[in-house]
Structure formats: C-alpha cells, structure tokens
Structure 1
Amino acid sequence: MPFITITKAKEPVDIFYEDYGSGQPVILIHGWPLSRKSWEQQVWKIVEEGFRCISYDRRGFGTSSAPWEDYGYSALASDLQAIIEKLDLNDAIIVGFSMGGGEVVRYLTDYGSDKIAKAALISSIIPLVKQKSDNPDGVAEKELDDIIDALQNDRVGFLKEFSKGFYNFDENKGERVSQAQLDYDFTIASFASPRATIQTALAWMHTDFRSELKNVDVPTLIVHGDADATVPIETSAKQAAAEINDNTYKIIEGAPHGLNITHAKELNDILIDFLKK
C-alpha cells in the first residue's frame, strides 16, 4: 500500500495516497470528516480526461496514521508538501474541498507556488468560518462550541446527523443522494480518529485565512452551491472571490455542501474545463 512517511514532526506520520493516470498532476484534498473516498465521482473523470490524479487521506482520517498532536493547518500543509516532494511533482493543480481549501491556501502561504500551476476551492471554508464583528455572516461561536461538545460526548451520534446537513437531506422529499450514501459517509467518518476529528474541527473553525488570500497567486477556481447550509456562500466563496485576484467563480444553483456527490456532473464539467484551460 502506498504511504509517505513524514518524520519532521514529534511523531512520524504515515500518509496514505492513491495515484492514478498520467499527465499533469491533480491533487485532491478531502473535506472534514471524510477521506479520499469522497472524491469517488471526480477521480475517474480526471483520469479519463488525461490527467494524473492523486488523492490522499488527511492525517487522522482514512488509512493514514493518527498522531496525537499537530492538526493545525501548517502541519496539514506540510503533509501536502511532502507528497509533492516525494512524488517529484511539478506544475501541479491542488484542489481542496471544504476544510481542504485551508490546505490549499496555507500551502501557498508556507511554500509558495513554484510547483503549483492552478488551485481550486470546492465548497470551501475559505476564508473564515467563525462569526466576528467584521464577519457577521459567519457561524456563531456558541454553535461551534456546541459541535465540539457533541463530538466529545457523542461523536458518532453527531456524525450520523451531520451527513444529512451535508446534502440538505430531507427524508420526506426526493433527494439527489441515497440513504446508502449517508451510511457510507457515516462509516468513513466514524472510523476516523476521535482526536483528529476534534482537533481538525478546531482548525477549520478558528483559522482566519483572510490575510493569506493574497498568497493565492495562481489561477484559482471557486465553486460553491447557493444552497450550502453547512458552509454558507456569503462567508466563504463570495468573500474568497472578492479577494483572490485571478479567479473563476462558479455558483451551482440549488447545490448543497456535498455537491461533489449531488451535483457530480455539474462539478466535473466545471472542474475539467478549468483544468484544461
């Protein structure tokens, strides 16, 4: 099984990755609290269109190992850097979903864009989740605290319900996601490290990337659903599009947070068009 072992931190970390296809490398960074498996509907399309597609499990999730410490964004970006170095990648395109948008921005902040051709932020949290006086559309700190309390006291119970909000799922209406997909997501999320689940949540809740948006100096795709109830568009994509200089901003009408599943064709068409430009 392909792992990259990172020994720079206090504890060695084994990052699991999958590497398919050939051509220009596209690196997929998954959202919280899932794994590389959430990119199922994008990997095949990216490879089919002539690109090399690399997806990996964030530390503490999927098949990667779970250290006790180091879940801040600079540590997570260092894992991305290790993958790029180990696989000797150049002219890479980095694609972050939800929390993964933070790795994209922090990577460009910490390591620059010498090896990066383009970036994409899909349903991304960027630039700031938390509500502040200058970010009134953000999530109130009390709500964020409640999430942490729920994760500490009944993590699997919280995760069972969280996936419904991910897709704006309503049992009484026709949906673009199946119950089986919800069950699949729950299985992936529940088997993640409890410690990693909480620590990475704290990272995406409280990290303010607004001052780092100037470091995004490559062509960047921003895609968001206007019905995203998990990461509202007003505090994320709309702000990112206003501050990132060279961006292509696409709104998918009626799409929830998990649009990579519910609106896979729409997203794939937008993404492939951007990759090929």
Structure 2
Amino acid sequence: MPTITTSDGVEIYYKDWGSGQPIVFSHGWPLSADDWDAQLMFFLGQGYRVVAHDRRGHGRSEQVADGHDMDHYADDLAAVVEHLDLRDAVHVGHSTGGGEVVRYLARHGEERAAKAALIAAVPPLMVQTEANPGGLPKSVFDHFQTQVATNRSAFYRAVPEGPFYGFNREGVEPVEGVIANWWRQGMMGGAKAHYDGVVAFSQTDFTEDLEKISLPVLVMHGDDDQIVPYADAGPLSAELLPKGILKTYKGFPHGMPTTHADVINADLLEFIRS
C-alpha cells in the first residue's frame, strides 16, 4: 500500500490516481479516504489527479495513541502534499476534513494551493460557548465519546442509519449499502483515535484560521444537516473567509457527497474551473 511516514513516525496511507491539476480530499470522522469514492472516480474521469489519505488512526493508517488533534491532522496532510510534490492543488474537506483543510492552509500556507472547498464542515466552532451560543452543548460530544469507548460497533450503525444521511427523515428510504459502508470504514479505524477526534472536531476554534485564508473557498452546506447544524457553521465560515462563497442546499443532509454526489460533484467542478 502507498504510505508515507510523518516526522513523528506515523505511517499514513494515501491514494494517488491520475494526472493533471491535483484535487486533495480530506475525509470526515470516523471514516477514511474510501468515503470519497464518488468524487475520486468523477474527477479522475474529468482529467484531474485525485489524492486522498486516511487520517492518522483512521482507515489503513497507523493506529497510534497520540496526535489526534487538528495541528497533527494538518501536519499529516502537509506531509502528504510535500511527499507527492503537489502544486496548484484544490483542497476539499468534508465535516472534520473541512477543519483539517482550514488548519492546514492557515498553518502551512497557500503556496501549494489554488482553491479550497468546505462541505458540511465543522468550522468555525461546533461546541457551545459564551462566545458561540449557537453551538451544540458539550454534553452531545461527551455522549459521542462514551459511545465510542463502550458501544462503538452499535453506535457506528446508528449514526448512518439515522442523522448522518437523513435516513431518519420521513419519506427518505435508507440504503443498506451506504449504511454498511459507513460502519465498515468506521470500524477499520482505532477507538482511541476516534475518541480523541471528537474533541478535535468539536472544540477546535477555527475563527482565526478562516480569517487568514486568502484563497477562494467554496462553502457548501445543507440546511437539513443534523450533524453539523447549518446556521452555526456554513454561513459563519463564509463570512469569516476573505474570499468565501456560500452555497446552501435545501433539505440536503450531512452526508450529501454520498446521497447527492451528482449535485455536489457538478458544483465542485464548476467552482474548480471558474
């Protein structure tokens, strides 16, 4: 398998297909690069070089005990970009991956990047604080951690069966293959990485990171997102980004790159070509 070893000794798995301008995909919690299958195949067919890695502790990457925070996530992404010598790259991040992209651009600079897209992403800040009253209570994320530590397999069925893809909405037919694939990806990863990752995606404040990014950034968010609620995420990120462009999807769920791949792929392609 193609892997790199980071400066702190962690083996990171990645996919690197095709040629042309690179598009780099950062996945959500607790999944893997496989969650981007519909995008990788589409953009490969459009003549792009597509790259996606498994975050440390996720998928086929090494299940280390430490480093499950946004700084390490960003540094690992930078290591992949530098190892492959990617330039003029478009960075696309879904959910936690959106936070990874934002922290990477703010921390490592924009020299190798051209544009970015944030899909149902966690910035600016998910958890409720005095300064962020619209966020979700910390108890929500404490519950996530308890389930990961004690009931992970069942929890990883309940999330995709319900809110992640909007299969709990009236009139929406669950797709067993999609649910099983989410569970498969989640169970490939390590419980410790996923446990710590809850803190990383929920308690990291990306406000200053967003303000630093001068590249054009497309912010894509569904207004029926039950995982990263729309009002406290997409619109606020777009406002903080100097060149942020907000695109709102009526009724779309958190997992819209899978459930509505045709729409998301077309809009991404238009943005990249613009």
Asked if TM exceeds 0.5, the reply is yes
SS of alignment partner, residue 163 of structure 2: helix
Correspondence list, 1:83-162, <5 A: 83-162=80-159
Which residue does 2:270 correspond to in 1? 273
Is contact 2:99-2:122 (8 Å) kept?
yes
- What one-letter code is carried by the residue in structure 2 that aligns with 1:21? G
Give the stretch that moved more between structures: 164-173 or 109-118: 164-173
Give the superposition deviation at 1:172: 6.6
Give the superposition deviation at 1:160: 1.4
Distance 1:159 1:44 in 2: 26
Is contact 2:222-2:252 (8 Å) kept?
yes
Render the CA deviation track for 1:219-274: whole Å, top value 9, x for unaligned.
Answer: 10110111101100111101001111112211111100000111111101110001
Correspondence list, 1:222-237, <5 A: 222-237=219-234
Runs of 4 or more above 4 Å deviation: none
- What one-letter code is carried by the residue in structure 2 that aligns with 1:114? E
Give the superposition deviation at 1:156: 1.5
Correspondence list, 1:29-68, <5 A: 29-68=26-65
Give the superposition deviation at 1:171: 8.3
- What one-letter code is carried by the residue in structure 1 that aligns with 2:49? R
Which residue does 1:173 correspond to in 2? 171
List gaps (5 residues or longer) in structure 1: none
List gaps (5 residues or longer) in structure 2: none
Is contact 2:40-2:50 (8 Å) kept?
yes
Give the stretch that moved more between structures: 162-171 or 34-43: 162-171
TM score, norm. by length of structure 1:
0.95
Identity %: 36
- RMSD of aligned residue pairs (Cα, Å): 1.3
Render the CA deviation track for 1:59-110: whole Å, top value 9, x for unaligned.
Answer: 1111111111111111111111111111111111111100011111111121
Is contact 1:112-1:215 (8 Å) kept?
no
TM score, norm. by length of structure 2:
0.96
SS of alignment partner, residue 126 of structure 1: coil
Is contact 2:141-2:198 (8 Å) kept?
no
Is contact 1:60-1:66 (8 Å) kept?
yes
Give the superposition deviation at 1:134: 2.3
Give the stretch that moved more between structures: 33-42 or 131-140: 131-140
Distance 2:155 2:172 in 1: 24
Render the CA deviation track for 1:163-199: whole Å, top value 9, x for unaligned.
Answer: 1210111387343x51121011111112210111111
SS of alignment partner, residue 5 of structure 2: strand
